[in-house]
Every structure is written in C-alpha cells, then in structure tokens.
C-alpha cells in the first residue's frame, strides 16, 4: 500500500490540474461535470491499471464517484428556499462530500469548491416523489411476477397457466412477498430515474410492484452510482399493501375486494399471533407445540415490531372511510395513499390523524372515471354520471382541502409517465387553492417527515444530504427550467430537451404507440396459443381494431393508452354469449406484456410483438 500512495497523489494532482485547465479555458460551468469526470476517470484508470496491481483499482472503485470528482460546490448569489426556514433572497449554499456544508447569506466558500454563479437561479431541496415504481425497470410481465409467495398462482376461478399452483386461501399467501425489498430490485437501467431527476425529483419512495403485499418500499436517491445499493437512503421505509391492485399478477384467492380486505386482516392477525407464539415458545419450548415457521409472518411481525409505516391505498371517499375504519385494526403505524377524493372526507382524515400521500395523477375523461365510489363502469358508451364529472373536477382540490384541515400531506406520481406532469398537476392544485409554499413543503420536508427521513432529507439544512434542484424560476411555473440537480452532492445538468407537450386525453393520444399489427402469445391448459391483433387509433383518439385467436375474432369496442399502459376492451362470442375481454398491460417499444381478463376475473398473461420487428430479428439471426 505504501507503494501505491505516491501513485494516488499523482493521480489526484493530475485530476486537479485537468480540472483547473478546464476551468480556465471555459470560464463557465456549462459542460457537464460528470462527463468531464468520466474523462478524468478514464485517464486515471489507464494510469493506474498500466502502472500497478489490481489492488489500486479496488481503492478507487469503493469510492469512485467521489475520488475523481469535485467534492465541494458552492452556489452563490442565488435565491435559496430551504423550506425549513425563510427563503434567502441572495444567498450561498455550500456542498461538501455529498452533504450540505453551509447555507446562508454569505457563508465561507472553501477554496477548492467549484463555484456556480446562481444569479437568477433558485435553489430548492430535491423534490420527493412519495410513491412510484421508478427505479424498478419496466413493468415485468404478469406471469413472471406470479411466482411471488407460496401460492402466487391461480385458483379455480382464475388460473392463469396450468402449471402454476393454486391459491385456495390465506394459508397459501397469495401475491404476498413482504420480505422482498425495492432496495434489492433497483435497476440502474431504468432510464426513468434520470428523467425524474431532470425534472427535479432527486428522491422517491420506491414501491415494489405486484401483489397484495408486494414487499418493502425504500427511500431512494435518483443519482448515479456504480452499485444501485449506494442510492438507497432508507430501507425498509414502508410496507405497502395493495388490496385493490395485484389482479394482474395473481389469481385464485382472493379475487374480490372483500376477499382481499379479509386476507390483509388475516395476515396481520397471523403475524401478531406468530410473534406472540414465538415468544412463548422460545421461553417455554417444553410442553408447547412449535409454531411453524412462516416467511410472511416473520416479515410482517418484524415490520410491526419496527413500527414500519404501512401504506394503504384508498381513492374515493367511500374507500377512504373504509380504510380509516379498517387499517387502524391492523396494529400498525400507517399512511393513506391515493386519496384523490379526500376533499369529501377531510374531517374524518384529520380526526384519524393519518398522513396522506396524495396521488397527483388526476383523473381525466375517458379513462374509466375511476371515481366517486359507486361510479359505474366508466369508459362505456353512457355519458359519465355527475358524480364522476364532479370527481374529475374536484380531485385537484384535495391537497388544498386536506392541508387546510391540518392533515400532513405528500405527493406521489402514481403512474404518471412524464415527470414534468407531476409538477403540472400540482400546479392545478395550487390553482385550486393550495398555497405554493405548502405544495413545496409536501414535495420536500413534508414527504420526508411522513417517510421518516426528515433528519437527513427534505430541506436545505447543514448536515443533510445534498439533494438540490436549481431552477431559473418558480418551481411550479410551467416555463421554468431545471438548470442543475444535485443528488448526494453530485451535480447533474438536465439536457435541454424540448418541452414534451402534456399528455393528451385518455384515448390513445396520451401514450406510447399501440396502433398497428401485433402477434400475441399466451398459454392455456391446451398449450401455447397465438393471436393476431390490429389496433387503430382514430383522429378523435378512439380505438378500434380486431383480435383473432383460436377462440374466434373479436372487435375492439374501446381502448386507451396512458403513458406506456394500455387497456383495451374487445367483444367476442364465447359459448354463444357476447363477452367482453379486457386486455391490459404495458407497451415497451415493440413489445407488449399484459393479460386477458374475462368478466369473471380470470387472467391469462400474454406477450406481444410487432410482426415486422420479429421478422427483422429473424433476418438478423
């Protein structure tokens, strides 16, 4: 090691010199520092590798990001909005080794700091998306997720594939993997982390997908790191429950909402019983029957003992009141998520003293309404009922109403595809009466408080993680551009992308392109099957087309694409009855993954490819 020391010094000198040259030559900080750092890194690597043993490499790889990049930054002459205190009209913020070193009107700037002239810029704490699957990669095919839990597979009512075990009751632990962790599922290949970051979102509560108990959520910084582990701020951060979701990922018990609610209740009863039984058994093994090990019970009882935050979804007023009654019986600390119709029941939410993570993916026309509790099957030919119209009109007022009632709030993107739309949708709430400073707090310190990380994130305070977003204007103004983002003290400059126009109405225009021909593959108990589909999207956004399979040809009656999610209803004759089948899933370029759903809830997963794309692939091979 003594041998290596001089080498390291040389490398550092070189790096500094290189940086100095660059600084002098450019006189500005427009070139992306990370790019430059990579250049330095290349030189270093070559030098180190050619000169010496592999041991040197390991020194650098452990702290690579910081070893060869500037560790000190200062943004001066900027408007600084710490959130925890009053804005500083013309101040300086100093970052050192990933943490905030100083904030104030005129703090000392260390000589080695890269200084950014913040004239005309505003510095905010990095924004927090308090509920997303960004970071977990593209949505997996439902079939792949079915393995979750001992009995991820189908029951009599809804087997998906013949070879998946049946879920016949709570004991099979359907769609239940509470021991899984989003922290372990992070994929650096998920490009959405960069798009979120570029819009100012430095941090998110990343919630595992798939299932009633999909696994534990983690607070994750959307930075860049050699290993995704380095991005994790806190894990486990929350235990999400999803009693209404998961229908695409498992079948069998429980297939109806009431079954799912009872199942959730049984799991918590089991976990509490397990903790009690284990305790008694460990103290008095003789004369007592050994309580059987159960992975789910172990994970949930551990989460309960650690007072982990249960995140429970409820969208409509009816669902919210139901959750307020049911979740407290589980014996866990909890937060409500979704809550778009919270404006109807703010008093009850306040009385329950439960924080709310509001889904800002506001309902829009043509997407099934989603609302008003009893809102009858939206998306049909009937005009939307007044209740649904009112819900769509008033949903954006929920943050204002809840904040006014004194409820702690945060925001989640809830499936929004373009992160710019998160802020646009929050702007609608500001128009509906939410004070901008309250909105900002919900996006930063408020979210950090709910997620239990306000001691390290959420405001511009000395010692906290240096997650910053630097803009050229008010964060909620549509014309505002994000100029810099700092994550764990590392600087990023969002590429000057042309502003993506807001997503359109539900019908087709809003998302990825599904129009054209597709080959769909699926498996039944009769073996592998093929279907061919052709979708067209009309000028008004309406969808038409056909799906031909061994079961006959079906007509598309309606459909919509939002982001990369599609949902298409086809009508076909089955056993002489006209039957609606719903195709839903994800578009990923020339790939579709999703499932067919029959009226009684049976799900059959499928994958789809473009005929031309597969032909090209064959040629290449």
Partner 1 sequence: MKSTSPKINRKLVLAISVGLMAVGAIAISSWPSEAQGTSDVTLIKNATILTVTKGTILHGSLLIRNGKIAEVGTSVAAPAGATVIDGTGMFVMPGIIDCHSHIAVEGGVNEGSVSDSSIANILDVLNPEDIDIYRDLAGGVTTANVLHGSANAIGGQTIVIKLRWGQPADKLVFEGALPGIKFALGENPKRANSTVLPGQVRRYPATRMGVEDVIRQSFTEAVEYKKKWDDYNHRKSAGEANLIPPRRDLRLDPLVEVLEGKRYVHSHCYVADEILMLIRVANEFGFKVRTFQHVLEGYKVAKEMAAHGAGASTFSDWWSYKLEAYDAIPYNAALMTQKGVIVSINSDDAEEAQHLNQEAAKTMKYGGLSHDDALKLVTINPAKQLGIDNRVGSIEVGKDADLVIYNHDPLSVYAVVQKSIIDGKVYFDRDTDIKNRAEIAKEKQALLEKERQAGGAGRGGRNGGRGPGNLIQDREE
Q: Which of residues 263-282 bind partner 1 (CB under 8 A)?
A: 263, 265-266, 269-270, 273, 276-277, 280-281
170 touching partner 1, by CB under 8 A: yes
Between CA 591 and CA 446 the distance in angstroms is: 39
Q: How far is the CB of 541 from partner 1 (least distance, A)?
A: 8
Identity of the residue, 51 or 256, whose beta carbon is nearer to partner 1 in the bound complex? 256
Q: Which residues contact 257 (CB under 8 A, 6 or more apart)?
A: 243, 244
208 touching partner 1, by CB under 8 A: no
253 touching partner 1, by CB under 8 A: yes
User: Of these, 33, 70, 142, 155, which contacts partner 1 (CB under 8 A)?
Assistant: 155
Identity of the residue, 385 or 433, whose beta carbon is nearer to partner 1 in the bound complex? 385
Q: Which stretch binds partner 1 (CB under 8 A): 176-184, 188-196, 198-206, 317-325?
A: 317-325
Identity of the residue, 20 or 374, whose beta carbon is nearer to partner 1 in the bound complex? 374
Strand 603-609 with 516-524, pairing = antiparallel
x/- map, 602-621, partner 1, by CB under 8 A: x-x-----------------
Helix (H) or strand (E) segment spanning residue 369: none
Contacts (CB under 8 A) with partner 1, residues 287-306: 287-289, 291
Identity of the residue, 332 or 360, whose beta carbon is nearer to partner 1 in the bound complex? 360
Contacts (CB under 8 A) with partner 1, residues 531-560: 551, 560
* Alpha helices for 346-499 (secondary structure H): 346-352, 386-394, 398-405, 420-431, 436-443, 445-450
Between CA 493 and CA 96 the distance in angstroms is: 18
Contacts (CB under 8 A) with partner 1, residues 556-585: 560-563, 565, 567, 574-575, 577, 579, 584
Contacts (CB under 8 A) with partner 1, residues 23-82: none
User: Of these, 24, 381, 600, 618, which contacts partner 1 (CB under 8 A)?
Assistant: 600
Contacts (CB under 8 A) with partner 1, residues 177-196: none
Q: How far is the CB of 584 from partner 1 (least distance, A)?
A: 6
257 touching partner 1, by CB under 8 A: yes
User: Helix-strand-coil percent breakdown of the chain, rounded to 5?
Assistant: 30, 30, 40
Identity of the residue, 118 or 151, whose beta carbon is nearer to partner 1 in the bound complex? 151
167 touching partner 1, by CB under 8 A: yes
Q: Which residues contact 193 (CB under 8 A, 6 or more apart)?
A: 134, 135, 222
361 touching partner 1, by CB under 8 A: yes
Tell which residue, 385, 244, 394, has the closest CA to residue 314.
Answer: 244
Q: How far is the CB of 250 from partner 1 (least distance, A)?
A: 10
343 touching partner 1, by CB under 8 A: no
Q: Which residues contact 15 (CB under 8 A, 6 or more apart)?
A: 40, 44, 68
Q: How far is the CB of 386 from partner 1 (least distance, A)?
A: 4
x/- map, 482-511, partner 1, by CB under 8 A: --------------------xxxxx--xxx
DSSP per residue over 64-116, as a string?
Answer: HHHHTS--EEEEEEEEE--SSS--EEEEEEEEETTEEEEEESSPPPPTTSEEE
Phi and psi (nearest 5°) for 427?
-60, -35
CB of 448 closer than 8 Å to CB of 454: yes
Q: Which stretch binds partner 1 (CB under 8 A): 198-206, 313-321, 400-408, 429-437?
A: 313-321
Between CA 213 and CA 300 the distance in angstroms is: 10
- Exposed, middle or buried: residue 347 (CB in 10 Å: 0-12, 13-18, 19+)? exposed
389 touching partner 1, by CB under 8 A: yes
149 touching partner 1, by CB under 8 A: no
Identity of the residue, 113 or 554, whose beta carbon is nearer to partner 1 in the bound complex? 554
Long-range CB contacts for residues 479-483, cutoff 8 Å, separation at least 24:
482/198, 482/199, 482/200, 483/121
- Within its chain, how far is the Cα of 600 from the centroid? 30
Identity of the residue, 18 or 551, whose beta carbon is nearer to partner 1 in the bound complex? 551
Between CA 345 and CA 336 the distance in angstroms is: 13
Contacts (CB under 8 A) with partner 1, residues 364-383: 364-379, 383
Question: Residue 570: how many CB atoms within 10 A of its CB?
Answer: 22
CA quadruple 317, 318, 319, 321: dihedral positive or negative? positive
**Residue indicated by tokens 């003594």:** 2
Q: How far is the CB of 599 from partner 1 (least distance, A)?
A: 6
Q: How far is the CB of 531 from partner 1 (least distance, A)?
A: 11
Q: How far is the CB of 266 from partner 1 (least distance, A)?
A: 5
315 touching partner 1, by CB under 8 A: yes
Identity of the residue, 86 or 293, whose beta carbon is nearer to partner 1 in the bound complex? 293
Tell which residue, 179, 436, 202, has the closest CA to residue 294.
Answer: 179
160 touching partner 1, by CB under 8 A: yes
Contacts (CB under 8 A) with partner 1, residues 415-444: 415-418, 421-422, 424-425, 428
Between CA 121 and CA 285 the distance in angstroms is: 66
DSSP per residue over 557-601, as a string?
Answer: EEEEEEBTEEEEEEEEEETTEEEEEEEEEEEETTEEEEEEE-TT-
Q: Which residues is 572 bridged to in the sheet?
A: 579
User: Of these, 31, 325, 481, 612, which contacts partner 1 (CB under 8 A)?
Assistant: 325
Q: How far is the CB of 84 from partner 1 (least distance, A)?
A: 29
521 touching partner 1, by CB under 8 A: no
Tell which residue, 43, 42, 23, 41, has the closest CA to residue 31.
Answer: 23
326 touching partner 1, by CB under 8 A: yes
Q: How far is the CB of 166 from partner 1 (least distance, A)?
A: 7
User: Of these, 79, 247, 464, 490, which contacts partner 1 (CB under 8 A)?
Assistant: 247
481 touching partner 1, by CB under 8 A: no
């Amino acid at each position: 090691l003594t041998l290596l020391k001089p080498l390291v010094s040389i490398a550092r000198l070189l790096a500094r010199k290189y940086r100095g040259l660059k600084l002098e030559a450019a006189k500005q900080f427009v070139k992306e520092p990370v790019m430059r750092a990579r250049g330095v890194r290349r030189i270093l690597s070559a030098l180190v590798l050619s000169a010496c043993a592999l041991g040197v490499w390991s020194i650098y790889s452990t702290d690579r990001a910081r070893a060869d990049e500037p560790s000190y930054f200062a943004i001066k002459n900027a408007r600084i909005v710490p959130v925890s205190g009053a804005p500083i009209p013309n101040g300086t913020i100093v970052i050192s080794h990933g943490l905030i070193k100083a904030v104030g009107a005129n703090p000392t700037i260390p000589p080695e700091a890269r200084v950014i002239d913040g004239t005309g810029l505003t510095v905010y704490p990095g924004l927090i998306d308090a509920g997303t699957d960004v970071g977990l990669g593209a949505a997996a095919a439902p079939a792949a997720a079915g393995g979750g839990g001992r009995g991820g597979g189908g029951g009599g009512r809804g087997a998906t594939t013949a070879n998946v075990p049946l879920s016949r009751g709570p004991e099979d632990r359907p769609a239940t993997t509470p021991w899984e962790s989003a922290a372990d599922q992070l994929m650096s290949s998920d490009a959405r982390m960069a798009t979120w970051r570029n819009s100012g979102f430095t941090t998110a509560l990343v919630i595992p997908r798939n299932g009633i108990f999909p696994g534990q959520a983690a607070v994750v910084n959307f930075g860049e790191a050699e290993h995704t582990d380095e991005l994790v701020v806190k894990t486990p951060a929350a235990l999400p429950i999803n009693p209404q979701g998961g229908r695409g990922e498992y079948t069998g018990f429980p297939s109806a909402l009431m079954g799912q609610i009872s199942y959730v209740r049984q799991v918590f009863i089991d976990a509490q019983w397990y903790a009690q039984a284990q305790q008694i058994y460990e103290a008095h093994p003789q004369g007592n029957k050994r309580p059987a090990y159960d992975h789910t019970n172990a994970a949930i009882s551990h989460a309960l003992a650690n007072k982990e935050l249960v995140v429970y979804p409820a969208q409509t007023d009816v669902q919210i009141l139901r959750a307020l009654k049911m979740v407290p019986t589980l014996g866990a600390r909890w937060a409500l998520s979704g809550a778009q119709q919270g404006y109807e029941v703010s008093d009850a939410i306040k009385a329950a003293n439960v924080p709310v993570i509001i889904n800002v993916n506001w309902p829009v026309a043509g997407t099934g309404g989603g609302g008003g509790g009893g809102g009858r099957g939206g998306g049909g030919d009937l005009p939307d009922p007044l209740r649904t119209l009112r819900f769509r009109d008033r949903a954006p007022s929920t943050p204002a109403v809840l904040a006014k009632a004194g409820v702690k709030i945060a925001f989640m993107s809830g499936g929004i595809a373009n992160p710019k739309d998160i802020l646009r949708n929050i702007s609608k709430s500001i128009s509906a009466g939410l004070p901008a400073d309250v909105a900002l707090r919900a996006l930063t310190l408020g979210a950090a408080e709910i997620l239990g990380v306000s001691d390290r994130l959420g405001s511009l305070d000395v010692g906290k993680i240096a997650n910053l977003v630097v803009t050229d204007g008010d964060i909620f103004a549509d014309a505002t551009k994000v100029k810099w983002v700092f994550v764990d003290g590392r600087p990023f400059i969002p590429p000057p992308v042309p502003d993506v126009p807001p997503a359109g109405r539900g019908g087709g225009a809003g998302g990825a392109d599904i129009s054209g021909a597709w080959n769909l593959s699926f498996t039944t108990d009769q073996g592998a099957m093929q279907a061919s589909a052709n979708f067209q999207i009309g000028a008004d956004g309406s969808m038409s087309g056909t799906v031909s399979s061994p079961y006959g040809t079906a007509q598309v009656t309606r459909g919509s694409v939002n982001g990369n999610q599609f949902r298409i209803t086809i009508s076909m004759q089955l056993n002489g009855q006209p039957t609606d089948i719903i195709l839903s899933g994800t578009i990923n370029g020339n790939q579709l993954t999703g499932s067919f759903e029959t009226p009684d809830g049976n799900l059959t997963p499928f994958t789809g490819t473009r005929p031309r794309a597969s032909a090209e692939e064959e040629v290449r091979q």
